[in-house]
Structure 1
Amino acid sequence: MLIETLIKLFKRDLNALILEIEAYVDEDNLWIVDGSIKNSTGNLCLHLVGNLNTFIGASLGNTGYIRQRDLEFLLKNVPKTELIKQVEDTILVVENTLRTLAETDLQKEYKRRVFEDTMTTEYFLIHLTMHLSYHLGQINYHRRLLDK
């Protein structure tokens, strides 16, 4: 039951991310940073794609995805259509991977780093939904403030 809920939440927010990207009137504004706003929508989008493909796709689904986290914040001017395609592909990875899990898998240990406290897979997946939601809110404000 929780797996279906997680799938719905990830799909809802990733589709909302696509709508935010599509809503930019000027595609160049996806990459604006201004004053205390240090991350552009484009870079936050790349970050979310990398994050979910790493921690769900590669770690739980054995997709073979290799994250290049630095590029998530260094790349600029990736076309809007490419960002949307990456999000659409991520939706499929997340859904397909989560559908392979049994409810008992959610209680297994999810360990990210050697010296980090342990947590359950359930806990970490909920954390990932909140991480997505947090950045989605930043993207919404970015668009409304800087896409003029």
Structure 2
Amino acid sequence: MKNTLIESFVFLFERELDKLEAEIKQYPDEASVWKLEGDIKNPGGNLCLHLCGNLQQYIGEQLGHSGYQRNRPLEFSARDVSRAQLLNEIQKTKLVVSATLRKLDDESIRQMYPEEVLGYPMTTVFFLTHLLAHLGYHLGQINYHRRLIGR
């Protein structure tokens, strides 16, 4: 068990990003990461880019002033990014998220988040919880996509 909120968030984000990395590695080949089938409009590769962009923006840039410039439309329109590039992006995201969170403390994350991303004011701890739920939601979609494509 982690002793502080910060330690808990670092542990949970790293754990989920490790799962994202494992999912991308388990696709049978490079092309399958990008394969569309049926009503699925966002393959694993796009969801991976979206998750990395989301976390680098809302944790790395907003809380850590990393200088990250997000291109959200590209997260969903890019195709055929290599698996190596996706894995590199996951690692960059994991490093910036962990480093940024470790610069904060339990008191600072109880303060208001600097942007009303969801359309209303919220504390940073509330938004970090939201970001974890968002990560888990899309991680489940990637897992489903990978299994559907690999059948």
Report the TM-score range of the alignment, normalised by the length of the smaller protein: over 0.9
* Residue aligning to 1:19: 22
How many percent of aligned residue pairs carry the same amino acid? 49
Which whole-Å CA distance do the structure 2 matches of 1:138 and 1:44 have between them?
Answer: 8
Q: Give the letter aligned to residue 50 of structure 1.
A: G
Query: What SS does the corresponding residue of 2:28 show, helix, strand or coil?
Result: coil
Q: Give the TM-score, by structure 2 length.
A: 0.94
Q: Which protein has the bigger helix share? A: 1
Question: Deviations 1:48-98 (Å, cap 9, x if unpaired)?
Answer: 010000000000000000100000001100000110010011100000000
> Is the alpha carbon distance of 1:55 and 1:115 closer, same or farther for their aligned partners in structure 2, counting shifts above 3 Å?
closer
Q: Which blocks of at least 5 consecutive residues in structure 2 are unaligned? A: none
Query: What SS does the corresponding residue of 1:110 show, helix, strand or coil?
Result: coil
> Is the alpha carbon distance of 1:4 and 1:147 closer, same or farther for their aligned partners in structure 2, counting shifts above 3 Å?
same
* Residue aligning to 2:103: 100
Do 2:116 and 2:122's aligned partners in 1 also have CA atoms closer than 8 Å? Answer: no
* Residue aligning to 1:61: 64
Q: Which blocks of at least 5 consecutive residues in structure 1 are unaligned? A: none
* Residue aligning to 1:85: 88
> Is the alpha carbon distance of 1:147 and 1:59 closer, same or farther for their aligned partners in structure 2, counting shifts above 3 Å?
same
Query: What SS does the corresponding residue of 2:136 show, helix, strand or coil?
Result: helix
Do 1:41 and 1:142's aligned partners in 2 also have CA atoms closer than 8 Å? Answer: yes
Do 2:62 and 2:114's aligned partners in 1 also have CA atoms closer than 8 Å? Answer: no
Query: What SS does the corresponding residue of 1:66 show, helix, strand or coil?
Result: coil
> Is the alpha carbon distance of 1:119 and 1:88 closer, same or farther for their aligned partners in structure 2, counting shifts above 3 Å?
same
1:112 maps to 2:118: no
CA RMSD of aligned residues (A): 1.3
> Is the alpha carbon distance of 1:36 and 1:114 closer, same or farther for their aligned partners in structure 2, counting shifts above 3 Å?
closer
Which whole-Å CA distance do the structure 1 matches of 2:102 and 2:116 have between them?
Answer: 25
